[in-house]
Amino acid sequence: MKKVCVTDYHYESLKVEQDAIESAGAVFAPMHLEDEEQLVPIADQYDVFINTYVQLTERSMSKMKPGAAIIRYGVGVDNVNLDHARKCGVHVCNIPDYGLVSVAEYTLSAITGLFRKLQFFDAKVRRSDWSYDDCGPLRNFDQCTVGLMGFGGIARTLARYLRAVGFTVIVHDPFVPADAVKEQGCTPASFEEVLAQADLISLHMPLTDTTRHLMNSETMAAMKDGAYLVNTARGPLVNGEDLAVALSSGKLGAAVLDVTEQEPLPLDSPLFSAPNLTLTPHVAWYNEQSLERIHILAAEEAVRAIRGEKLRCALT
């Protein structure tokens, strides 16, 4: 009998997964493992692993059964070493489309809120200051350029929303052909062009050795004075200390971070004292529909793995 291990999770219920997996004739074993060390001694007992945050490397994968499958709750797989998975003959997949709309909607809300300076005006009203003469320039959306770093499903959905309300959208993604960008009504651009031309940059890249700290003191210095930054992708894409400096100096006008390099953010992080920064607790993905979809899609993928079928979103 096949066995499915949930290494760790933060959901109130896994009933959808349990019902689907047990209906497929497999054993369902949800756990709250704290780290990979706890998985190593039991890794050979399971055929399928559903994973959230626990780091998975060759240490645990080498103990897994040949052809075992790892299903990552969510999009990013920076906690699952894909090279090690290939070496160990382990299949890995993610669920890239469960919250596509919700993340795009969140990002649209963050972007429009920044351009309309909602945080700035909220702070003024709380000081009983109802003036607007010091707010700086406010422009119609059709006078503003948004730069998207990365052009996967979320970014393409967001681009459609942004264009619908008038924004000019430029895109940098070295893995997407220029024609595919143009087909979406956007303009392809180099990394340097996005830094120099965008009034706001929104990050939609995976975390890799190349993209870690993509936004740092040097790249932020190349952005427009007073430009905005939004990150709903992976926390380590942004060097938090450098962002705090850029906001404090006024080089950047404001930023929104739904993800940070460490989560929860350490209480001594300079980001807490950085001006004009909005922080949210990694919730861009969340709404009722996305929550329902992630359970259903994970359960369906687990059943495919149990039956030895091709995984829908295979990465290895």
pLDDT score for 44:
98
C-alpha span between 190 and 196 (Å, rounded): 10
pLDDT score for 136:
86
Residues 6+ apart with CB under 8 A from 246: 217, 220, 221, 252
| First-to-final CA distance of the chain | 24
Residues of the chain with confidence (pLDDT) below 70? none
* pTM score: 0.92
* Residue range(s) occupied by CATH 3.40.50.720 in the chain: 3-98+289-307, 100-279
pLDDT score for 36:
98
C-alpha span between 257 and 234 (Å, rounded): 10
CATH of 100-279 given 3.30.420.10, 3.40.50.720, 3.40.50.2300, 3.40.640.10: 3.40.50.720
Q: Which CATH superfamily is domain 3-98+289-307 in?
A: NAD(P)-binding Rossmann-like Domain (3.40.50.720)
Catalytic residues: 234, 263, 282
